[in-house]
Amino acid sequence: MKGIGIIRGLTLLAAALMVHVASAQYVPSMSSGKKVKPVEKAGYWHRGNTFEHLDLSLSLGTSGIGLDLAMPVCEFVQVRVGYELMPHFKRHISADVMIGNQESLQYDEYGNRIETNYDRVRELIYSKYGYDMQPNIDMTSRITMNNFKFLVDIFPLSGNKKLHATIGFYWGPSQFAKIESDDGSTATLQAVSAYNKLYEAAVSGTGDPEIDYIKDYGTAGFPMGKIEDATIYKMTPGDKGAISIPVKTNAFKPYIGVGYEAAFSKKHEDLKFAVTGGLMFWGNTPTMVTPDGVNLTKDVSDISGDMGSYVNFVSKLKAFPVISFRFIKNIF
């Protein structure tokens, strides 16, 4: 009898433990009174969460200001698409006028101006056409870069969903900058164009005999550097009496980089930030083709002055460094 009592006691104890465990795993439903298992809240990164979440972010960096949309496609990969626009930063560039191979402004040992071919041509063009040729012109460089981007973020560390590598591409207009002559230099540009027409006529023998002497001066233009056989290359205005130099590269630009993404705080996990750095590969040296068809980055050497520093900088940009900071809001 004692053995039967012990067995009954153990049975009752086991039943009590099972009831306790069951009550810990289930909670009563307010609507039906039935006990239902609570649903554990899944984090942003979990297995099978393909396209279940959407992030919207504002980006700011060396490639411009933009908007991104991001979605996870599996536990360790998310896809981002977006658009970036670079503010139109400006840089002022000047270029001297040269008649033949003679500098426009020359001085004697006492600092007094010496009359040059430039002075004679300036007086001639002003008397014939009313254009006042200044010794230099002003130009402005403007950034025009804007791109669509498709990027894939890969989170390789299973225990760390913050560090990631990124691959993808940027795609946009091939022109990312341009140099244009300022309106204040229009008269000088028109004067240069007018003189070159007179010079060509004088050389061919079809010009005005009274100004036949200008064929000894040479053409007018803006010295940029040296081309083949160390010849001085002088840039000349286009058909409309202005200078426009587009700065171009490939429209399709592969990208690779690394980044760090995290929530601002545990209380606001829907607000995140990301810092990324990488390279946008342009594939080759950007081109800068002048109105007369010369590529400054490939065909001309020893460019001096403001234009020289600009061309040297652009020539080195076979890959563009991209550093950006993103403010991220989880939409759902």
Q: Check whether residue 107 and residue 18 sit in a common domain.
A: no
> Is 202 among the domain residues?
no
> Is 199 among the domain residues?
no
The answer to whether residue 2 scores a pLDDT higher than 50 is: no
Domain that holds residue 30: 1-39
pTM given for the model: 0.78
Confidence tier at 6 by pLDDT (50, 70, 90) = very low
Q: Check whether residue 233 and residue 176 sit in a common domain.
A: yes
Q: Check whether residue 146 and residue 260 sit in a common domain.
A: yes
The total of structural domains in the chain comes to 2
Beta bridge mates, 153:
78, 166
> Do 79 and 70 contact (CB within 8 A), yes or no?
yes
Alpha-carbon distance of 155 to 243, in angstroms, equals 49
Q: Name the nearest CA neighbour of 101 among 196, 232, 230.
A: 232
Q: Check whether residue 9 and residue 47 sit in a common domain.
A: no
> Is 205 among the domain residues?
no
Q: Looking at residue 23, what is its pLDDT?
A: 41
Q: Check whether residue 96 and residue 141 sit in a common domain.
A: yes
Least reliable range by pLDDT among 37-46, 85-94, 310-319: 37-46
> Do 64 and 145 contact (CB within 8 A), yes or no?
yes
> Is 22 among the domain residues?
yes
Confidence tier at 253 by pLDDT (50, 70, 90) = very high
> Is 211 among the domain residues?
no
Mean pLDDT for the stretch of residues 138-167: 91
Q: Check whether residue 112 and residue 21 sit in a common domain.
A: no
DSSP string, 53-120: --EEEEEEETTEEEEEEEEEEETTEEEEEEEEE----EEEEEEE-EETTEES-EE-TTS-EE--HHHH
Q: Check whether residue 10 and residue 102 sit in a common domain.
A: no
Q: Looking at residue 39, what is its pLDDT?
A: 45
The answer to whether residue 251 scores a pLDDT higher than 50 is: yes
> Is 126 among the domain residues?
no
Q: Check whether residue 56 and residue 87 sit in a common domain.
A: yes
Q: Check whether residue 28 and residue 161 sit in a common domain.
A: no
Mean pLDDT for the stretch of residues 163-187: 96
The answer to whether residue 8 scores a pLDDT higher than 60 is: no
Q: Check whether residue 148 and residue 15 sit in a common domain.
A: no
Q: Looking at residue 42, what is its pLDDT?
A: 52
Confidence tier at 205 by pLDDT (50, 70, 90) = very high
Q: Looking at residue 169, what is its pLDDT?
A: 97
CATH number of the domain that residue 285 is part of: 2.40.160
Q: Looking at residue 297, what is its pLDDT?
A: 95
